[in-house]
Amino acid sequence: MISTQPSSDLIQRSITAIIFGGVMIAGIFISHTSFVILIGVIQCLCLYEFYKISFNDSNKILIYSGLLMGIFIYVLIQYFPEKYFLILPSLFLLGILVLFDKKAGQFELFMWCIMGILYISISLSLFPLIKISGHYNQWLIMLIIAIAWANDVGAYLAGRKYGNTKLLEHISPKKSWEGFITGLVIAITLSLIFNNYIQLISWQDSIIIAILIGVIGTIGDLIESMLKRNFMIKDSSSLLPGHGGLLDRFDTIIYALPFIYAYFRLFIS
């Protein structure tokens, strides 16, 4: 009897990709407000996945307080950026929640709580702020996402077929130098082709952005792999059937965003 499991897995992955892709495209193209809401929801779910991994339900009050603080900081950065000085005092307030808990390991949980907001909430909050001449551009956002996902897919497929030289085997045994280089080449190529049609930035800038995503994004992928390896899990969640969790899908972008935003502020915008 021939197993139908591989084909059913492929169908499941395809359906998830189509639905998720449709939601992403709608959120990006409807308006800037819809994109702010979309990324706000994504950051909240990614932060929740991060806390579920690192906390393991050991302090639910701190988990939900961290989520609320992540939402607060995200809204603050989007609509009241001049009040950025409130971020650090807000984070320090979370420390009150662990002072009166006598169970062991509370300081470590507090550090995980702070790290989640720095790593996910603040990083993703920069995405809607990436603009050209102060204006939101849907195609620029699509360019960044397309480069990131092309890099991921290219690295995965090339690594699976030709990957013999391990990148960092102690963190991610399946990642290879062959996959990394192929993903980077595909990211640069796609960036040049895409930008040739939308013509938003120079070809030199498009190459630099692709390199930032390819290199820094790969580091982000490895960081998330290290997190999952530390807690001995395969996926950040099962939210996206056949694809794992949202953190699995956005780890590249999350880590690369601060560098992309800084580059735009310094050299483009």
- Predicted confidence at residue 104, as pLDDT, reads 67
- Identify the three-state secondary structure at position 233: coil
**Tens digit of pLDDT for each residue in 8-30?**
776 877 888 889 999 999 999 99
**Tens digit of pLDDT for each residue in 154-196?**
888 888 888 788 888 888 888 889 999 999 999 999 999 998 8
Residue with tokens 């999350």: 254
- Predicted confidence at residue 204, as pLDDT, reads 94
Angle between the 60-79 and 106-116 helix axes, to the nearest 10 degrees? 30
Q: Residue type for 119, please?
A: Y
- Predicted confidence at residue 6, as pLDDT, reads 55
**What are the domain boundaries of the chain?**
31-129, 132-269
Q: Are 73 and 113 in contact (CB under 8 A)?
A: no
**Which residues are CB-neighbours of 71 under 8 A, at least 6 positions away?**
40, 44, 121
Which stretches of the chain drop beneath a pLDDT of 70? Answer: 1-7, 10, 57-58, 104, 269
- Predicted confidence at residue 161, as pLDDT, reads 82
Q: Which value, in Å, is the radius of gyration of the alpha carbons in the chain?
A: 19
Q: How many CB atoms lie within 10 A of CB 139?
A: 17
Query: DSSP class of residue 133?
Result: T
Question: What is the reported pTM?
Answer: 0.91
176: which strand partners? 166
- Predicted confidence at residue 114, as pLDDT, reads 93
Q: How many CB atoms lie within 10 A of CB 207?
A: 16
What is the b/e burial string over 20-57, where b = at least 16 CB atoms within 10 angstroms of the residue's CB?
A: eeeebeebbeeebeebbebbbebbbbbbbbbbbbbbee
166: which strand partners? 176
DSSP track, 137-189: -HHHHHHHHHHHHHHHHHHHHHHHHH--SBSSTTT-TT-BHHHHHHHHHHHHH
- Give the pair of three-digit tokens for residue 220: 């982000």
Q: Are 73 and 125 in contact (CB under 8 A)?
A: yes
- Give the pair of three-digit tokens for residue 94: 């979370």
